Chain A
Amino acid sequence: GAVVSQHPSRVICKSGTSVKIECRSLDFQATTMFWYRQFPKQSLMLMATSNEGSKATYEQGVEKDKFLINHASLTLSTLTVTSAHPEDSSFYICSAYRVTNEKLFFGSGTQLSVL
């Protein structure tokens, strides 16, 4: 089956630093990937839609300059949390859409803790 790899699975950083999270589709090409944020015991909130070769589409209330998304190839999208602060601590999950079977495949998530 299709696999989406998300890395790192856990990161702890100091306030003010930037953190990059990678999302790779391992055996299919994905022109569209999605980034979600999830707080403990809550649902997934869509942050942005990552489009290969073009700018990401951000959901209302999500700061573009804070959460930089790059989708430079058909198998890789990255989310960079810039100048991270403790309130950015959360679980971030990506997903990639596989056109051939119309399914979304999710990465295993990244737990970000900002001290």
Chain B
Amino acid sequence: SQQGEEDPQALSIQEGENATMNCSYKTSINNLQWYRQNSGRGLVHLILIRSNEREKHSGRLRVTLDTSKKSSSLLITASRAADTASYFCATGAAGNKLTFGGGTRVLVKP
């Protein structure tokens, strides 16, 4: 079963705009991770935020975590056409086992 739900399911923006997507989860977590998947490919790890962290940055990515609301957001700033992909949040519990959210399909139009 899926732990997280992502919102929106799909997002279409112009190059240069920011893209924001949200993830909600249900149970307690050790960490939350965001992954990117290009069509028909495997997943690439983007960023991990631990349960005791509230915000983390990596390049054009900004992730927030609100454990009281059991939610996280991923912001991609100054988007590029190459950012077109599906983005998944995943929550980790014991044993490094990840449970993935439903994903957000992002289309960045040039």
Q: Can you list, as one digit per residue, whether each of B66-102 has a CB less than 8 Å from chain A (1) or not (0)?
A: 0000000000000000000000100000011111111
Please pick, from A43, A91, A109, the residue contacting B103 in the complex, using a CB distance under 8 A: A43
Tell me the A residues contacting B by CB distance below 8 Å: 4, 6, 32, 34, 36, 41-46, 49, 91, 93, 95, 97, 102-109, 111
- Distance in angstroms between the alpha carbons of A32 and B97 in the assembled complex: 10
Please pick, from A43, A93, A103, the residue contacting B102 in the complex, using a CB distance under 8 A: A43
Asked whether, in the complex, the Cβ of A104 is within 8 Å of the Cβ of B42, the reply is: no
- Which 7 pairs of residues, A with B, have the shortest CB-CB distance? A106-B42, A108-B42, A106-B43, A44-B100, A97-B96, A43-B100, A43-B102
- Distance in angstroms between the alpha carbons of A104 and B100 in the assembled complex: 13
Task: List the B side residues contacting A103 at CB < 8 Å.
Answer: 45, 48
- Distance between A64 CB and nearest chain B CB, rounded to angstroms: 17
Asked whether, in the complex, the Cβ of A104 is within 8 Å of the Cβ of B105, the reply is: no
Instruction: Please judge, given known A-B contacts A44-B88, A91-B40, A106-B42, whether A32 and B95 are in contact too, CB under 8 Å.
Output: yes
- Distance in angstroms between the alpha carbons of A6 and B41 in the assembled complex: 11
Instruction: Please judge, given known A-B contacts A97-B96, A104-B96, whether A43 and B40 are in contact too, CB under 8 Å.
Output: no
